[in-house]
Amino acid sequence: MNTLLHITNGDYTTQKLQELNIKGEIITWREMLCEGKTITEVGSEVFWKTRFDFLQTSYKISKKKFIDFTLKEYRNLCQQKKQDEIVLWFNNDLFCQVNMMAVVSWLKRYRPGRKITIINSEKATTKSSKKKAFSELTTNQLSNLYNNRITLNKDDIEYADYIWQLYCSDSPLRLQTVHKFNTNSPFFNIEQTIKTHLLRFPSLENGLNFIEKNILTISQENQFKNKEALVNSLLKNQKNYGFGDIQYTNKLNDLKKLFSSFNPVKVSKIGKQVLENQINYYGKIRNDFSYLGGSKKYSYLYINANDKLLKISS
């Protein structure tokens, strides 16, 4: 009988699997590698130092919380060495997909030859219905997904590792076409994930990326009593990012000069001008220490006319 190891995208999914009484050990991957600088050697000392530096600077995460919340669970993962099959429970949004590519890269290096299977969460929903995260599914739906999990072959594992290497490289340009070379990949959402990622680089039009512009647009078109109401709306209406409230709250802090008030929420005069492309905010918002994967966020511009990135000469 095969022994199983489940790696989940978060505590809610872990709780759901525990309610299912599913066989095998369960490890929760507590990271958000879609935010901040990443390096290719997942799990190395330099990798974790890089991640802690980012989380401490951007989210005020204490060393104790980082160790208790993330590192202890990672060390638990390192101790799981005997299982025959490793099941990955990651949703199809950017947040989860980047984490999953990193986990597959780690498994390729430290658990070679093991059977790796992935759960396709979209099979639980119809094309007409809203995509649901694992935490929103019934135990019966989760059980059906588990029974129909997909086995990765060697090429699939190599491909996921390659995507991770490109994500961590100092240039995002090769990511623009890489998905076209493996159309039969079981990572069927990877094309959308990459497009979603590339839209996070600042736009040539006004210096804001897709998320930042969307925050301003929603704020301008609606009336929110306070910041919390705005964040709740952003969470409900995001499509492929999978962000949490702390990420949107952090982004609002970066954009605070484009608002005249957060109680109630009001876009400032400059914010409206930026939204209408009358002012380019790139020079004001630029931060040379801001990274998306291995690339500096403000070293590239997104050209909306052709959906391509342009490298800025230094």
Identify the structural domains of the chain with CATH numbers, from first to last. 4-189 (3.40.1360.10), 210-311 (1.10.10)
Q: Report the SS3 class of residue 126.
A: coil
Tell me the pTM: 0.95
User: What is the rounded CA–CA span in Å between residue 71 and residue 57?
Assistant: 18
Name beta bridge partners: 311.
Answer: 300
* Model pLDDT, residue 183: 67
Other beta carbons within 10 Å of 214: 18
For 102-151, what is each residue's pLDDT tens digit? 999 999 999 999 999 999 877 655 454 567 788 888 889 999 999 999 99
How many Cα atoms sit within 13 Å of 199 on the Cβ side?
17
Across 176-191, average pLDDT: 81
* Model pLDDT, residue 184: 76
User: What is the rounded CA–CA span in Å between residue 279 and residue 154?
Assistant: 49
- Burial (CB < 10 A; 0-12, 13-18, 19+), residue 122, is middle
Handedness of CA 31, 32, 37, 40 (dihedral sign): positive
Q: Report the SS3 class of residue 118.
A: strand
User: What is the rounded CA–CA span in Å between residue 141 and residue 137?
Assistant: 6
User: What is the rounded CA–CA span in Å between residue 114 and residue 107?
Assistant: 8
Q: Is the pLDDT at 234 greater than 70, yes or no?
A: yes
* Model pLDDT, residue 16: 92
Across 84-103, average pLDDT: 97
